[in-house]
Structure 1
């Protein structure tokens, strides 16, 4: 990706009193609704995008027992900065995935996810999936990818939300498996697959082990979008940049600990997919105010806010914009800037980008 020139940040709006509902008020009586702000959603996992009500319904339909953490005690209390906590998080995710038994279940998930994205102001979604987690149930890797792509096309036609697929390798599996997925992803480049990712516990699979898979994906024209800098520090982000040629980095918030690394991120025009609710839920940050959104933004980093796994963290995309408004004092012009950054960092077609960017300008003027 070419280096970019950092544009001046919009002037920050002065702090305003807090209303009874906890939101900051501007000099105007009300501030525009962030759910009406056009934006792109670049960090959302497939099973994690499921509605909680759908999880409960499908579990009953297919006879899957759900633990209390996914029923009465939902959303679950999570803390994954230690091995035991991550194991519990992954176990809950695997249980949730197990309710997806039939092709219609996948189609329902994507249709409802697209409906929710539209309600949140998202006009373009890039959803990340490891086909290996579903292949045994849906006839193999290739049929699974084709099923998901077909479901995404149907969901997009029904809702007007554009959908691209990020095929993601699992850090806990062998790098050769990642190469298989990269070749599969490249086969469907231009047919709905827009990028290649790397997810799961970054403490159990170093980025440089997957350099070969990402080389295949980049040569095939796909975006490089690995996770890094969430559970591990700046070194994890640097590996994503140097070994995997990252265009975007899932999370990346720990990069703030290394000013020279931030300079590299800015110079290369790499976008950080920052997920405030997820960071708090997994113990990466103590509170939403501790997620370094303002510091990264002021340093010139491109940021795309994301919800990560609403099924496990309990909130979707608009809530992330609300949090940076209330916890970090972002004014409306700055929120619009974040929305523009998400759109520009996406793989959305030019006409979709133009439409969304025009909508952002209109939102600021409301």
Structure 2
């Protein structure tokens, strides 16, 4: 027996896709709220000799989910359809979601995600950088805006200190490219170690100009590394920039949790959804034995998430290599692609992308065919 049908000659693609969709009907994954059939994920199927080629298309990046799908369904699918092997391809068609604050979308940018913490020093920028790179590794086209006017650190973390944006028309500037990301930061416009001596309104205007006067390429996700606090700059961003959703970053200790709580309240008052909480520095991981020492306490992220009925998206341990990689300008997701930390960030990226889609209101799904 060869399964549902005998793979002799050409099969009608629609019929083949239907058979594949039926075989995958029982698959479930923590990031999916609907079945692959409901999402119409199976777009193309092709027999080539005894190999079945399957192309999936989803409105979010999902490469880690595809790996889980392969592991769970590859064997049974081969048996059912009579294939010797299966090759898979995921073509992201990331949906454009309605901004939560009613601001008009920026052409070419499908979704804007604010990475926020009202408490400084929690490692928000390191989370933003590695999360952006993880979204790109999952197949997304990703940009990163360093919105910390007074302490821009993104150029150092991405190894692009000293670079300057170029203007082709005298009005707008091209973003800096680093590790596959499109980036802009006030740090690219200042001399090294030059202080930013601007009052709140001036800094807010400069930040809005930095976003709108950058010639961003076509982006699935633009991450904004928000300034700490709940003052003029975060308020301007939340009110006047078309933010799709936000993520709150904290550390386990109570003082950070208390400040982060105020940051969540800011978004809540502005009706901007918070996708969840990321707990950074969640214990120090010994490089020799792997023991996780909760030197900053424990449970802060869980308590914060529970208080606001939000998911705890991830807990990032304190590892020396994470900061060392950023100091060298080669973040962990780039410098150690096979590490446990990179796997953690890529799983976090898929969780963020899917939550963003399920929580948002899709305007459109734009076909973006890219081989991963």
Shorter-normalised TM range: 0.3 to 0.5
Bigger-Rg structure (1/2)? 2
Taking structure 2 as the reference length, what is the TM-score of the superposition?
A: 0.37
Greater fraction strand: 2
